[in-house]
Amino acid sequence: MDLVDKVQSGSIRGIARTISLIENNSPQKEDIIDELYPHTGNAMVWGITGPPGAGKSTLVDCLVKRERKQGRRVAVIAIDPSSPYSGGAILGDRVRMQKHSTDEGVYIRSMASRGHLGGLSVATGDAVKILDAAGYETIIIETIGVGQTEVEIIELCDIVLLVLVPGMGDEIQAMKAGVMEVGDIFVINKKDRDGADRLKTEVEYVLGIKNALTGEKPNPVLLASSKLDEGIDELVEAIHDYLKKAQATGRFEEKRRVRIEKEVHKIFSSKVHELLNIHLDIENNLGEWISSILNGETAPYKLIKSKLNRFVKENEII
Amino acid sequence: MSEYKTINEKKADWEESTLKKVLDRFPEQQEEFVTGSGHPVERLYLPSGISEEEYIEKIGFPGEYPYTRGVQPTMYRGRFWTMRQYAGFGTAEESNQRYKYLLEQGQTGLSIAFDLPTQIGYDSDDSMSEGEVGKVGVAIDSLKDMEILFEGIPLDKVSTSMTINAPAAVLLAMYIAVAEKQGVTRDKLRGTIQNDILKEYIARGTYIFPPAPSMRLINNIFEFCSKEVPKWNTISISGYHIREAGSTAVQEIAFTIADGIEYVRNAIGVGLDVDSFAGRLSFFFNAHNDLLEEVAKYRAARRIWARVMKEKFNAKKEKSMMMRFHTQTGGSTLTAQQPDNNIVRVTIQTLAAVLGGTQSLHTNSRDEALALPSQESVMIALRTQQIVANESGVTSTIDPLAGSYYIEALTDRIASEAWDYIEKIETMGGMVKAIEKGYVQKEIQDSAYRYQRDVEDGNRIVVGVNKFTVEEEPPKGLLKVDPSLRTVQVEKLARVKGERDNVAVTASLKALKKGAETEDENLMPLILDAVKKYATLGEISGILREVFGEFQESIVL
Amino acid sequence: MAKAVRILVAKPGLDGHDRGAKYIARALKDAGYEVIYTGIRQTPESIVVTAIQEDVDFVGLSLLSGAHNELFPKVVELLREKDASDIIVFGGGVIPTEDIPFLKEKGIEAVFTQGTPIKEITDFIEKRLEK
């Protein structure tokens, strides 16, 4: 297949087109992903998450610069929300990374959160595979860390950086919301601001409680300023250090196992869903079903059970 | 004996007996009337019942605190405003010709427009300069170009305004160097550099360095000029571009004054005495079509600034509290359709600026929405000012609209809403913080978006654009900049680099770099030394870029 | 769901007047498109790379400094060089009417001058998508 070759040869147009196919949930996408699949598994996937205004894009820009210095090819996927009203979106994260735009070793792609029938996390996961097969060694996913979808995206990553800034008032919120669970490394960005040290102490305290319960070693909490490009070398070192250790301890393999498990689950349920949708012709029958429930002729569980039973019998599945 | 009634009671009677009958039969054209900025306007304004005490506190007398009625005791009875047409394009030679023409036509000050590479610190031969050399102003690469630009213009006789911000220190240094070559000493130089970096981050976009080193350069200029170039206006704190970006009138003065507060606080922070520099601060505002709102805006701005300087910064000198400002008619109000209509718009805007007590004025040319203004259009624009000055009669008394129930109410309202903004920005930690958060940009964009939507939906009428339109022939005879100009400029630059003492240039740039790396050394003398050696604007800016880094805009949409 | 239409709104050249570009970006978003906005001072090279990486259907260029005759055609030219001439380029800003034929000849498919209602732009986009 043409596109598959193009992706593997690193053609930017080919890669970009293929990601669009994924985003638009094109029927071709499944074959393409399967064909590329054997060539994946080489890239390290970094997740950068945190509240809006935490300086994530600028931080990604700094990280890209460091990875390029090491000679690694880098791809960035920046995810922004779509408008719930129009479905449109303004994708502006790459503004802060534009100086890499003409560097051939860097690929940046903006994705809007909506418009993915298979789910945003599935689309992102497939985009990662495409970039992986195209030979990008470091893949960075940038996303706002709120909501279930976002957590699912974060689960695609080998390492997750949670970016917090002092003085936003939502740092404690973030901790409550359980986002603390997903971070492997914690970055206190804009360290030149008042309250950075205090925030670091607070985060360390919360992590201390968590680690006391699990018995794990404390996660690194680092101060940085992406704007002033300070503390970034230490951060990159911590990232690579973490990845190396994760590989040595088997944690890395375990993460990938869990990821595949979840992916298989997702594909399985979406396929089953799709299949039954077609066979039961839900689109046309749903109205009738609702009426029969409203009329008191049947009840929701009863109705679905009977439909499924009939489907199983008719197709002689059992 | 008839019973005594208050004005408000009489008003209620009027509404009941006279107004209602008419409204029932002839409803008004709109349910709600709004100003050019979208603020509600009442049907009728009444005497506010202001006491004499309140009058003295809020309005006062011309040339006295709080300067609501104007900064000079005689205003235009003494002298008209400075008529100053912003001009410049192509090469220094061409611009020099245009300046001489304007001076011959009775213009009383020069106003220099630089091209974008100059404004952003790139030489004409830089790859970033492609397509831009000489386009929106004159291209200046080195002192050589500046010498040509002012050839035959005695710098002790004219006052010169330069629209230059990020590299203002470099262009000011070049101006001083040219003057000295003419035998004019620094203390005789009169003029203004715009030097207002904050509004570049907010609205205009020709920034180079991040806020901290930019503020340092501004402080260096304040300090240097207070000792060396005492008649120079060291900054022109500009609301013009904020309004052009789509703000309301209230936002225009609020954000401009908040910028001013940040500059003053910064200068005081490095140890400057407020009265040593505040008298040289000047302002720059827009004039839009809603004449009465604009007049009220200027009056409110003067009142607020006086209060800020007196109460917040404890200024003692009267000059430190006076808001002197330049005005330019609103570029974004001009239409490409039926361009001659723009002459009428500019006339209304001129009246607004003059009735608002401006110190100098640029009137836009009718064809500016299409291209660079032609000589003929520039002349009409200048004549518009001259007609208002000499024929309209509005200059014969000071602040002629004062006491209008509407104007005074509007002045109070604009002042109070602007205060709210200023206080909000102060609680955010000042203007730099508010810009970094994207707050100011977002407020302006929301206003701009609302305005544009109103025009598109037909809720707001723009004559010739969404009503009263006609089929038009494309305009002819527009002024174009010769595309080969870059080649000419690049060749000139190469010659300068070949003829100058390159060892001396390198040494001066090295010294500048060392100075920039310190926290507090004043860079003006070092820059002056470098420009005198014919170091280029690009070279000097390049050195500073290395040390200071570059600003990255934060986009909020 | 129909394919999402992606549009790059870009400002080549050095002018910082982004009121128009930002208005267009926001209005196109409200019209349901995915808009990539990259800020001011973009070189033709970076605009083209961005357009390709983002796999956009359209590139909208906004320029007020008068450098359009140099910079707009350069974008079209570079897209061709990179085998991406299917990406449709349109432009706007302060563009004298007499320059429009030249720009169209150079491959800028539509030029919207100041004051163009957004509807005209979305009509252009929809019409061009049908082709």
Instruction: Report d(CA B234, CA B111) in Å as an integer.
Output: 15
**Residue for token pair 């920039």:** B516
**The domain spanning residue A121 has which CATH number?**
3.40.50.300
How much is the pLDDT for C3?
78
Interface test with A, best of C9, C38, C129 (most A CBs within 10 A): C38
The answer to whether the CB of A258 falls within 8 A of the CB of A224 is no
B209 pLDDT more than 70: yes
Nearest to C13 among B132, B204, B332 (CB): B132
Rounded Cα distance between C124 and C122, Å, is 5
Amino acid occupying residue B513:
K
Span A150-170, pLDDT tens digits? 778 888 899 999 998 887 665
For residue B346, pLDDT over 90 is answered with yes
According to the model, what pLDDT value does residue A188 have? 93
Q: Which of C9, C19, C61, C121 to mutate to test the interface with B (most CBs of B within 10 A)?
A: C19
Cis peptide before B525 (omega within 30 of 0): no
Distance of CA B292 to the CA centre of its chain: 20
**Mean pLDDT calculated for residue range B527-542:** 98
User: Shortest Cα distance from A76 to chain C (angstroms)?
Assistant: 11
Q: How confident is the model at residue C98 (pLDDT cuts 50, 70, 90)?
A: confident
In angstroms and rounded to an integer, the radius of gyration of the C-alpha atoms of chain C is 13
Q: Where are the domains of chain C?
A: 6-130
Tokens of A261: 């498990």
% pLDDT > 90, chain A: 51
DSSP tag of A156: T
Residues of A engaging B, defined by a Cβ cutoff of 8 Å = 53, 58, 90, 92, 95-96, 227
Report the distance separating Cα A32 and Cα B512, nearest Å. 58
Question: A95 and B557: CB-CB below 8 Å?
Answer: no
Specify if A141 maps to a domain.
yes
Contacts of A102 in chain C (CB under 8 A): 43, 45-46, 49
By CB neighbour count within 10 A (0-12 exposed, 13-18 middle, 19+ buried), where does A213 fall? exposed
- Where helices occur in B428-470 by DSSP H, the ranges are 431-436, 439-456
CA B265 to chain centre: 21
Give the per-residue pLDDT at A149.
72
Q: What's the residue count for chain A?
A: 318
A268 in a domain, yes or no? no
Distance from chain centroid for Cα B550: 24
Report CA Rg, chain A. 22
pLDDT digit string (tens) for B155-186? Answer: 999 999 999 999 999 999 999 999 999 999 99
**List of long-range contacts for B499-506, beta carbons under 8 Å, 24+ apart:** B499/B534, B500/B533, B500/B534, B501/B533, B504/B533, B505/B530, B505/B533, B505/B534, B505/B535, B505/B539
pLDDT the model gives residue A12: 95
pLDDT value of residue A174: 56
Q: Which amino acid is at B164?
A: I
Asked if the model's pLDDT at residue B351 lies above 60, the reply is yes
**Cβ-based interface (< 8 Å): residues of C facing B:** 13-19, 22-23, 25-27, 29, 37, 39-41, 43, 65-67, 69-71, 94, 96-98, 113-115, 117-119
Mean pLDDT, range B387-392, rounded to an integer: 97
**Residues C67, C53: contact at Cβ < 8 Å?**
no
Q: Which residues of B touch A58 (CB under 8 A)?
A: 552
Q: Are B163 and B114 in contact (CB under 8 A)?
A: yes
Please report residues of C whose CB lies closer than 8 A to that of B246. Answer: 19
Lowest mean pLDDT segment, chosen from B425-434, B466-475, C90-99? B466-475
Both tokens assigned to A101: 């735009």
SS3 state at C9: strand
Please state the separation of Cα B404 from the chain's center in Å: 27
d(CA B476, CA B430): 48
Q: Give how far C27 is from chain A: nearest CA, Å.
A: 10
pLDDT tens digit sequence for C54-76: 999 999 999 998 899 999 999 99
In a domain, A41, yes or no: yes
> What CA–CA distance (Å, rounded) separates C11 from C60?
8
Return d(Cα B454, Cα B53) in angstroms, integer.
Answer: 42
Count CB neighbours of B84 within 10 A: 26
Alpha carbon A169 to its chain centroid, in Å, reads 25
Task: State pLDDT tens for residues B216-240.
Answer: 999 999 999 999 999 999 999 999 9
Question: Which residues make beta-bridge pairs with B287?
Answer: B329
Residue A318 lies in a domain: no
DSSP for B521-553?
Answer: ---HHHHHHHHHTT--HHHHHHHHHHHH-----
Rounded to whole angstroms, the Cα distance separating B296 from B415 reads 9
- For residues A80 and A89, the answer to whether their CB atoms sit within 8 Å is yes
Among the listed residues A123, A128, A179, the one whose alpha carbon sits nearest the alpha carbon of residue A157: A128
Higher pLDDT, C86 or A86: C86
- At A49 the three-state DSSP class reads strand
CB contact under 8 A, C32 and A87: yes
pLDDT of residue A173: 58
Is residue A289 assigned to a domain?
A: no
Cβ neighbourhood burial of C109 (10 Å; 0-12, 13-18, 19+):
middle
Cα–Cα nearest to C54, from A12, B502, B283, A122:
A12
What is the distance between the alpha carbons of residues A127 and A121, in angstroms, rounded to a whole number?
10
Structure-token pair, residue A286: 């749903």
Alpha carbon distance B191, B232 (integer Å): 5
Single-letter amino acid code for the residue at C125: I
Share of chain B above pLDDT 70, in %: 99
| pLDDT score at A144 | 77
In the stretch 327-366 of chain B, residues with CB closer than 8 A to chain C read: 332, 335-337
Average pLDDT score, chain B? 94
What pLDDT is stored for residue C1 in this prediction? 43
SS (H, E, C) A62-75: HHHHHHHHCCCCEE
Question: What is the predicted pLDDT for the residue at B370?
Answer: 76
Which chains have 3 or more CB–CB distances shorter than 8 Å to chain C? A, B
Could you say which residues from 188 to 217 on chain B have a Cβ atom under 8 Å away from some Cβ of chain A?
210
| Domain containing residue A152 | 2-249
**Count of structural domains within chain A:** 1
Under DSSP, the state recorded for B71 is S
Read off the pLDDT band of A172 (50, 70, 90). low
A261 contact partners, CB below 8 Å, separation of at least 6: none
- Give A146's pLDDT tier (boundaries 50, 70, 90): low
* DSSP strand pairing (B40-41 vs B33-34): antiparallel
Residue A176 reports pLDDT greater than 70: no
Task: Give the angle subtended at the CA of C66 by the CAs of C61 and C67, to the nearest 5°.
Answer: 65
* pLDDT, tens digit, 9 for 90 and up, residues A102-114: 899 999 999 998 7
Q: Give me the count of residues in chain B.
A: 557
| B166 in reach of chain C (CB within 8 A) | no
Q: How many CA atoms lie within 13 A of C131 on its CB side?
A: 9
Q: Cα separations (Å) of B283 from A260, B257, B259, C16?
A: 63, 9, 11, 21
Region class of A87: left (phi > 0), else alpha (psi between -120 and 50), else beta:
left
CA–CA separation, B536 vs B122, rounded Å?
Answer: 9
Q: Which of A25, A91, A115 sits opposite C35 (nearest CB)?
A: A91
**B202 near B441, Cβ under 8 Å?**
yes
Subunit contact C65:B245, Cβ cutoff 8 A: no
Distance CA B324, CA B309 (A): 13
Model confidence at B260: pLDDT above 90: yes
| Chain C residue with the nearest C-alpha to that of A112 | C34
Residue A270 lies in a domain: no
The pLDDT > 90 percentage for chain C reads 82
Cα separation, A185 vs B73, in Å, equals 66
DSSP 8-state class, residue B337 = S
Percent of chain B having pLDDT more than 90? Answer: 83
Whether residue A309 lies inside any domain: the answer is: no
Q: Is residue A62 in a domain?
A: yes
Listed residue (B458, C50, B149) closest to A91, CA to CA? C50
C-alpha closest to that of B217 among B481, B438, B547: B547
| 3-state SS class at A47 | strand
Q: Is the pLDDT of residue B292 over 90?
A: yes
Name every residue whose Cβ is closer than 8 Å to that of residue B162 and which is 6 or more positions away in sequence: B111, B112, B114, B168, B171, B172, B175, B191, B192, B193, B194
Give the C-alpha separation, C39 to B296, whole Å.
35
Mean pLDDT, rounded, of chain A: 88
Specify the pLDDT at position A318. 59
Task: Encode pLDDT of B297-339 as tens digits.
Answer: 999 999 999 999 999 999 999 999 999 999 999 999 999 889 9
Please give the Cα distance from B181 to B169 (Å, whole number). 18
What does the alpha-carbon distance between residue B401 and residue B151 come to, in Å, rounded to a whole number? 43
Across residues C106-114, what is the average pLDDT? Answer: 93
Query: Who wins on pLDDT, B395 or A92?
Result: B395
Residue to test with chain B: of C9, C11, C22, most B Cβ within 10 A: C22
3-state secondary structure of C6: strand
- Element housing B145 (H / E): helix B143-149
As a whole number, mean pLDDT of residues B440-456 equals 92
Alpha-carbon gap, residue A116 to A110, rounded angstroms = 14
Q: Does C55 touch chain A (CB under 8 A)?
A: yes
Our CA angle for B175, B227, B152, nearest 5°, is 25
What does the alpha-carbon distance between residue B133 and residue B557 come to, in Å, rounded to a whole number?
Answer: 30
**C89, C10 Cβ separation under 8 angstroms:** no
The answer to whether residue B114 scores a pLDDT higher than 80 is: yes
**CB of B504 closer than 8 Å to CB of B533:** yes
Q: What is the pLDDT of residues A16-61, one digit of tens each?
A: 999 999 988 888 999 999 999 999 999 999 999 888 888 899 999 9
Dihedral (Cα; A170, A175, A176, A181), 10-degree rounding: 140
Spatial neighbors of B266 by CB under 8 A, at least 6 apart, are B215, B218, B219
Q: What is C6-130's CATH superfamily? A: Cobalamin-binding domain (3.40.50.280)
pLDDT in tens, A200-242: 888 888 888 777 777 777 889 999 998 888 999 999 999 999 9
